[in-house]
Chains A and B, each alone.
Chain A
Amino acid sequence: MTNTLPPFSLADTAGANFAFPAGPTRTATPTLLCFVKEDCPTCNLVMPLLQALHDSGDVTVLAPGQTAEGNLVLAERHHLTLPLLDDSILKVSFAYDVETVPLVLLADAEGAEIDRLVGFDRAEWQAFFATHAPNATVDWQALPSWRPGCGSLTQDPVVAERLRAESENSPLRARKIEIAPADDVHEFLFDQGFTDGLPVVPPTPERVLRMLGGTSRDPQQVVAQIPPNYAPATVEKIAINAVLAGCRAEYLPVVIAALEAICTKEFNIHGVNATTMGASPVLVVNGPIRERIGMNMRLGVLGQGTRANAAIGRAVRLAVRNIGGAKPGGTERSTLGNPMKFTMCFPEWEERSPWTPLHVERGFDAADSVVTAFAMTSGPALCVDQSSRSARQLAGSFALSLEAAHHVRAHNASDALLVVSPEHVDTLWRDQFTKNDIRDHVQRVTARPLADLVSEDDIGGGLPRERLEAMPPERRQRLMPKFAAKENLHIVVAGAEAGKFSGIFHGWAGGEIGSIPVSRKIDS
């Protein structure tokens, strides 16, 4: 099959334009293209040969050079009269997918490839000359038998990303925004409202391309519709926000899965954003990806200092803000807000836990990587218990701490997330307490008669007194535990080996009227 070479027009060192292919009316001889760069010894070796071809008149020689200064040096060093063309922006080299220089391509007047040479192999070059340029004069014995070529500048990783981003078949479709040289890039990003109040990484096309390397998904695949704008979140748009947040490419699959989870009807990110209670997704990661991308599940797990934990949660929030359009004062109407609205993502320390990990409890295989999203309004609120020596005691402490979620007298509550620290795990497991034992104990300890959950003159909140008084007496003594169902208490293990402190995240409105926790498998 005929390989038609890409057309181009480039200027030589004197500024004269040369077009390829010239077309049959302009040239009777084939055209020989040779991609060269000045600092390549093999290119320097073949420059006199190219000049000999030029002098022979058998072919029309055009030599795209990869640096403008290098072209001048080559012309002077080898006394060249052949056209050395300026491809310093490397567009033509990129279009030709040049891997090695020198690359020789011989084409007919229509631009169809006839022959090619890569690097320098004397026998091949000699045969090439014999076939295509019999009038050229070369002292072949003065030349080495073989020299490898050098890497094309287009293969330089930084240059390659720029060229890919700028090329016609670039996977990028997002609107490009040019920031004037006089503008401070970071101030510009703040002014445009693209940040959460902290500095972001400028999402240049090169960085976004690198980010897209973290997933095999099509950049234009729509992952979710993000409210309140119900805007399509393509993989590319998510990648842009992942760059803003400071993610590495290998975090991107987690960000994608988290957005899939929160944009479901069950999770209801619209309500989570809008509520005056100030809810935000808390993301828990399970499975092998935790170690692979360097997530921290130990010391300071819920705090700052680990890029993966911090950047993944932040990327999800920025995507919701920028793609979905949820901004404080707009549809984000939280009374107080909370720091989880910057970021909150952490992994479960499955290996330190004697219990079934969260994702397996939720129906996934242990070998799956999974992210689970919870809508939480506060946390982590600490349960400090350094004295309990039995599982029952400690689970009882958890119960009282959990009872404080929202309001001590607000029972029949929806979800809460309990993060049990390793020392507390040891206390519980010494008595073989399972996650379900903890849940049962919490429900037992917090079960109070409705009459005790009533609003009083000195303490408000809880059940309105008139509702209680409307109940028959026996109903008023009905026991009501903290949670509507024990399954509303979600339990994971994380944290440092030292410290008898566990953390509690308080939920939001649960079930159909609010948010239901959602898990999504992360692409492997």
Chain B
Amino acid sequence: MTTILDPTDERVPVARSVTLRPGAVTGSVALLDISKPRGNVLLDRLEQRLAERLPGATINRYAKPTFTKPAPTALRQDILANNDFVIEALAD
């Protein structure tokens, strides 16, 4: 029998429950630009389409300062407090 020490952080993955999926998109939708080049182009188009399909929904635009780092806490809290949905524009 060989005994070794665990080289990892030993975190047991936390079981996360997915938020209940609503049947319709209503209220506010956040569009988050992660600041990759042309991410805004994608979001502009998306905003246009959403406005056509969801005339009752409000679209709010947000942007991370840089794609290389996680979103600042204040930005995440702002999105959470003022929106019902969030769509994040990835890149590459």
Contacts and interface: CB of A to CB of B under 8 A. Distances in A.
Interface of A: 172, 174-181, 185, 189, 194, 202-205, 208, 226, 229, 231-232, 236-237, 240-241, 244, 268, 270-271, 274-276, 318, 322-325, 335, 509, 512-515
Nearest to B2: A179
Nearest to B66: A513
A236 B70 CA distance: 28
A240 B1 contact: no
A244 B9 contact: no
A512 B9 contact: no
B3 A176 contact: yes
Interface residues of B, number: 17
Interface in B6-50: 6-11
Nearest to B65: A513
B74 interface: no
A241 B4 CA distance: 11
A142 B70 CA distance: 82
Contact of B6 (A240, A270, A325, A514): A240
A233 B39 CA distance: 35
A176 B5 contact: yes
A33 to B, nearest CB: 30
B68 A240 contact: no
Interface of B: 1-11, 65-66, 68-70, 92
Nearest to A242: B7
The 3 A-B pairs with the shortest beta carbon distances in the complex, nearest first, are: A271-B68, A231-B9, A175-B6
A181 B1 contact: yes
Given A178-B1, A194-B8, A275-B68, 17 more contacts: A174-B6, A176-B6, A177-B3, A178-B3, A179-B2, A180-B1, A203-B5, A203-B7, A204-B3, A204-B4, A208-B5, A226-B9, A240-B5, A240-B7, A241-B7, A244-B7, A509-B68
B10 A175 contact: yes
A253 B8 CA distance: 20
Given A270-B69, A271-B69, A237 B7 contact: yes
A335 B91 CA distance: 13
B11 A229 contact: yes
Contact of A276 (B1, B2, B11, B92): B92
Contact of A204 (B2, B6, B70): B2
Contacts of B5: 172, 174-177, 203-205, 208, 236, 240
Contacts of B68: 268, 270-271, 274-275, 509, 513-515
A174 B9 CA distance: 9
B17 to A, nearest CB: 20
Nearest to B92: A276
A325 B9 contact: yes
Contact of A174 (B2, B10, B70): B10
A335 B92 CA distance: 10
15 contacts: A175-B5, A178-B2, A181-B1, A185-B4, A202-B4, A204-B4, A226-B9, A236-B5, A240-B6, A270-B68, A271-B68, A276-B92, A335-B92, A509-B68, A513-B66
Contacts of A322: 7-9
Contact of A231 (B3, B4, B11): B11
Nearest to A228: B70
Nearest to B68: A271
A202 B10 CA distance: 17
Q: Which of B1, B4, B11 has the most chain A CB within a 10 Å cutoff?
A: B4
A202 B92 CA distance: 38
Given A268-B68, A513-B68, A205 B6 contact: no
A513 B9 CA distance: 28
B9 A237 contact: yes
- Most A CB contacts (10 A, CB to CB) among B5, B10, B69 go to B5
A509 to B, nearest CB: 6
A203 B10 CA distance: 15
A339 B51 CA distance: 47
A339 B88 CA distance: 32
A471 to B, nearest CB: 19
Contacts of A229: 9, 11
A271 B36 CA distance: 13
Contacts of B2: 178-179, 185, 202, 204
Contacts of B6: 174-177, 240
A205 B7 CA distance: 12
A204 B69 CA distance: 36
A177 B10 CA distance: 11
B39 to A, nearest CB: 14
Contacts of A226: 9
B10 A179 contact: no
A271 B92 CA distance: 15
B3 A205 contact: yes
B18 to A, nearest CB: 20
A177 B11 contact: no
A284 to B, nearest CB: 22
Contacts of A176: 3-6
Nearest to A244: B7
B46 to A, nearest CB: 22
B34 to A, nearest CB: 11
A190 to B, nearest CB: 13
Contacts of A202: 2, 4
Contacts of B11: 229, 231
A455 B7 CA distance: 48
Contacts of A270: 68-70
